[in-house]
Structure 1
Amino acid sequence: MQYTSTRGGVVGVDFEGVLFAGFAADGGLFMPEHIPKLNNVTLTTWRSLSYKDLVKEVCALFIPPEAIPRSDLNGLIDKALGRFRHKDVVPVSRLKSDLSVLEMWHGATHAFKDLAMSCVGQFLDYFLKKNNRHVNILVGTSGDTGSAAIESVRGIPNIDITVLLPHGRCTEIQERQMTTVIEDNVHVYAVDGTSDELDEPIKKLFGDTEFVKRHNLMSTNSVNWARVMVQIAHFFYGYFQCAPSQDNELLPPVEIVVPTGGAGNITAGCIAQKMGLPIQLVAVVNSNDIIHRTVQKGDFSLGNTERTLASAMDIQLLQMMKSCSVTDDDILQTIRRCWEENRCLLCPHSAVAAFYHYRQFDLNQNLPRCCLAPASAAKFQDVTLRAGLIPEVPPEIEALMKKETRCTYLKKQDNWERVLREKLEAIDQKRKGNI
């Protein structure tokens, strides 16, 4: 298996090269040169596998044994997913009104980004140890990506990670999950701007190929193929858990409802679909509805980014899917309904998916359906309170509020690109001084 840029200017790159590259040199994203097509025999075999074993099978299709031998790959995935709080890693909650929720938030940061990011961290460590290399990871986050990226590599000696977060536009818990990590290899900046705005200096740095090469710069944002690859597995798992009786080889279709911001997760769903999984994807968004407008009307025009309750989807930057746009009032109403019916709290992003399900259920549109729940409600206590409910706060979240923080604040008038360049130069100078 080799990889090519979506812009066609870079071809024939192996998995290790793609893992460390992030963006391709021509500015495109790396994708596999071909998508493996699974037959019904394989799908029927896979339906009895655990989530962890599905991750192993999916990754083995895209990572040849000469890159990572299968026994090593299995060990890396076992280590990555061994820290999750639930034995099933991504359990399914079957609730009233036929609502099936795939809980993807049982990792270290209570968000689905932990699923792929924990594996990516292990893949990086594997190759860095093997080749005695150092890399600089540069990440922009709208909420959950930054903390998951930090958790996946904190304390790894051959990695430094620099994260930009939009100050005041994440929840306090999301922000503190990043600013309370006091590790020598973790560098956090809180910027006065939106997640789209902070992405601009990051794109400029990655566009400077000489700088990228000199500082071994890479990204673990959703532009990194390895994250998309791991995320393919939860579409298979969600399908197998929510499909009706599978006593024969006929595999019935299932709707997978995906809260969508930057579209990295639903990209994995599209690939699962291309691999032969009989799913219908539904992209559900908040008031920042560029994906909805694209699917419904072919309108990909940019608008101003609106602040909403589902902050990780505050992004403005496929006929293979449906879509639905949800307001803040819809989110609050859905959180209340799920609580009243099930005594189950949803995060605002999960509520966006559940809103679509409830709307279809109330119209008797009862296809088999799996709603992806990307984060724990514990990370969004203000939203729970706005819904008139009492937040549930696990001890590890409560402990965050008492921890020391470390972070550099950047104002709008600061030159963010220059600050990042100087920081990355300083990191490498310090490392050279310690060698």
Structure 2
Amino acid sequence: MEYISTRGKVGKIGFIDAFMMGLADDGGLLVPSEIPQISADNLKKWQDLSYQELVLEIFSYYTNNEIPQEDLKAMVEASYSTFRDPEVTPVRRFGDDLYLLELFHGPTFAFKDIALQFIGNFYSYVAEKQGKKIHILGATSGDTGASAIQGVKGKEGIKICILFPTGKVSKVQELQMTTVQDDNVLNLSVDGNFDDCQGMIKELFADLDFKSANHLAAINSINFVRILAQTVYYFYSYFQVSKANGGNLGKVNFSVPTGNFGDIFAGYLAKRMGLPVGKLILATNENNILERFIEEGVYMPGDFRITYSPSMDIQVASNFERYLYYVLGEDAEEVSRLMAQFKSEGEISISPDALKLVQSEFAAHGVDGQECLDTISKFKTEHDYLLDPHSACGVAAVYECAEEGEISISLATAHPAKFDEAIRLTGIEQSFPPEIAALFEKPQRQVLVDGKLEDVVAQLEKFYNA
């Protein structure tokens, strides 16, 4: 297995090099040169594996044996030893056709922990084995930053800087980032929105001289290894639901709350590998650029809106280009043309035939604020289960898009305590887990910056050279 860019100007490179490159040097995103196919026999054999064992099996198709098996196993065991549930990502059943995949049992109570705990250990491994300085640079709409910091705080050879939009993440998300006091951590609170933060990250990674001189490494889902780590729980949850249905299960829908297209692209990758997936239901909020693409074939940002599900308050989805590459028949030249058009004109569209392909693979539903709150209230009343607002968007999308009798797995992406501002609007009071309650007593450490690239660069250079 080798890795290539969606824009065609990065030759075939290995697994560790792809991990360290993050954003491809030509500005594209790295993808495997071919998607491995998992046989029906192997799918059957995998049904009784533990989560950790399944990680090793799936990664074996992608790592080119560049990591000794005992080293990879040690990283996997260390990464998931921090989770509060022995299954890592347990599945819960609600009625005949709906299952929730709980992805919030990691140290920061969000699905990002599943990939970023592993990636933190992987960066530490590379830093030690290759004697490299690694300076992780990322942007967050809330959860990525906390998870990434948790994965690498205090580790030798690694520094991490996270950009987040001032006042546009939940209070718990902010505290999880800014109460970390380790000297290898820098939080930049940026005057702007997430797309501004993400745009600056991509610009800095595209500046190859700056990237090399400052040893930049990617933690956002532009890094393919993060996508790969998330693919595992699609397989794992399918197997759990299959066993709950006597081991005789056909296709299953997955409903995925997403703003950056990373988590749902992991589901798309699982489907391409051979997992029996029916609809991939894309759940979003009023920032519904992805819903409009799936319905109309037009990708164009609209007006940015602050919502009850801030982790999806994104207009420009950083992983969209990966899916575009496959929709266009892996035509890197056409991808490059369209992405250049998007940069200059702010809009791209695909052909009617390509749109038919998109609509055969995806359904989508944009959940407005009141529908989100109503879904939280309804689910609590009917099932005595409290959804966070992102997970509520996923459930609402199942209600809208799934046909009667279809089994759907909806991704519960965060613990509701992370978004108490929205929960309180439903009239529901919740108790915080002790780990979250303790955050409110800790001092914060962050640097406020204007939304200008030069101000961010000045802070980075000061931090990296300290």
Q: TM-score range by the shorter chain?
A: over 0.9
Counterpart of 2:461 in structure 1 is 425
CA displacement 1:147-204 (0-9 Å, x = unmatched): 1110111011111001111111101000010000000000001112110012222222
CA displacement 1:399-426 (0-9 Å, x = unmatched): 00000110001234xx3x2233223323
Deviation at 1:279, TM superposition (A): 0.5
Counterpart of 1:272 in structure 2 is 270
- Maintained 8 Å contact 2:363/2:401: no
- Cα distance in 1 for partners of 2:262, 2:286 equals 18
**Partner amino acid for 2:438?**
A
> After superposition, where does 1:116-131 map in structure 2 within 5 Å?
116-131=115-130
**Partner amino acid for 2:210?**
F
Counterpart of 1:433 in structure 2 is none
Counterpart of 1:14 in structure 2 is 14
**Partner amino acid for 1:264?**
G
Uncovered stretches (5+) of structure 1, i.e. residues with no partner: 431-435
TM-score w.r.t. structure 1 length?
A: 0.94
Deviation at 1:98, TM superposition (A): 4.1
Match of 2:418 among 364, 379, 385: 379
TM-score w.r.t. structure 2 length?
A: 0.88
- Cα distance in 2 for partners of 1:287, 1:276 equals 32
SS at match of 1:145: helix
* Residue 300 (structure 1) aligned with residue 336 (structure 2): no
- Cα distance in 1 for partners of 2:199, 2:247 equals 51
Identity, % of aligned pairs? 37
SS at match of 2:282: strand
CA RMSD in angstroms comes to 1.5
CA displacement 1:291-341 (0-9 Å, x = unmatched): 111111112111111111011111111332111111111111110111111
- Cα distance in 2 for partners of 1:165, 1:59 equals 31
**Partner amino acid for 1:332?**
L
SS at match of 1:380: helix
Counterpart of 1:365 in structure 2 is 404
Counterpart of 2:89 in structure 1 is 90
Counterpart of 1:343 in structure 2 is 384
- Maintained 8 Å contact 1:138/1:218: yes
**Partner amino acid for 2:303?**
N
**Partner amino acid for 2:53?**
D
SS at match of 1:139: strand
Moved over 4 A (4+): none
Change (3 A) 1:97 1:246: closer
Change (3 A) 1:379 1:43: same
CA displacement 1:68-96 (0-9 Å, x = unmatched): 01121111101001000111111112124
Counterpart of 1:259 in structure 2 is 257
- Maintained 8 Å contact 2:4/2:33: yes
Counterpart of 2:172 in structure 1 is 173
**Partner amino acid for 1:427?**
F
CA displacement 1:342-400 (0-9 Å, x = unmatched): 21110000000111233467xx6120110001100010111111011112211110100
- Maintained 8 Å contact 1:360/1:366: no
Match of 1:400 among 423, 439, 455: 439
- Cα distance in 2 for partners of 1:423, 1:131 equals 27
CA displacement 1:93-122 (0-9 Å, x = unmatched): 212474310000011110000000001111
Say how many residue pairs are matched: 422
Q: Bigger CA drift: 33-42 or 97-106?
A: 97-106
> After superposition, where does 1:14-413 map in structure 2 within 5 Å?
14-65=14-65, 67-96=66-95, 98-243=97-242, 245=245, 247=247, 252-280=250-278, 281-317=280-316, 318-319=358-359, 320-359=361-400, 365-412=404-451
- Cα distance in 2 for partners of 1:58, 1:123 equals 16
- Cα distance in 1 for partners of 2:73, 2:265 equals 24
- Maintained 8 Å contact 2:282/2:397: no
- Cα distance in 2 for partners of 1:391, 1:60 equals 42
SS at match of 2:465: helix
Change (3 A) 1:97 1:384: farther
- Cα distance in 2 for partners of 1:247, 1:322 equals 26
- Cα distance in 1 for partners of 2:379, 2:401 equals 15
